[in-house]
Amino acid sequence: MNTLYNTYSIGGTSMYYDKKGRNEIQRKPQGNQRSNNKQKDVRTPRADLFETNDHYYIRLSLPGVKKENLNIVIDEKGMLEIKGRVFTNIPEHTKNIIQQEIYQGPFYRKIRLNSRVDKQSIKFNYNNGILEIYIKK
């Protein structure tokens, strides 16, 4: 078994790497978080964070999210916040919901970046449920 070294934390997920630089993601529960599909739960979308010499590249998986239900903010300390809501349409005249596994409700992700990022250079691309964010250092 390889020894894993912690590199940085994104929300409730810590990124680890082994001696050869291969990443492994390990979920770390926060407080009394439960993993059920109640609409009141706030979900944390899965994210990838990459750094080059001159920029950050962030990719989030947001299936079912419409652009108008997505809010992205970066503050003066380099904290990037992505939040929004997934809405599911239930067919009219539904008598019973027999099974509902597809998540609906709010989501929230916080990613700490270097405070020296160029906030004017932020570029976004959202296609097929994948949000891509490019930020120059």
pLDDT computed for residue 78 by the predictor: 84
Strands (DSSP E) along 4-86, which ranges? Answer: 5-10, 13-17, 23-27, 47-51, 55-61, 70-74, 79-86
Given this model, what pLDDT does residue 40 score? 58
| Domain 40-90+101-137: CATH class, spelled out | mainly beta
pLDDT surpassing 90 at residue 113:
no
- Please give the DSSP secondary-structure letter assigned to residue 120: G
Give 43's DSSP letter: B
Q: Specify the pTM.
A: 0.65
Instruction: Give start-end residues of each CATH 2.60.40.790 domain in the chain.
Output: 40-90+101-137
Q: What would the pLDDT profile of 12-66 be if each residue is shown by its tens digit?
A: 334 444 444 444 433 333 444 444 444 458 899 999 999 999 999 999 999 989 9
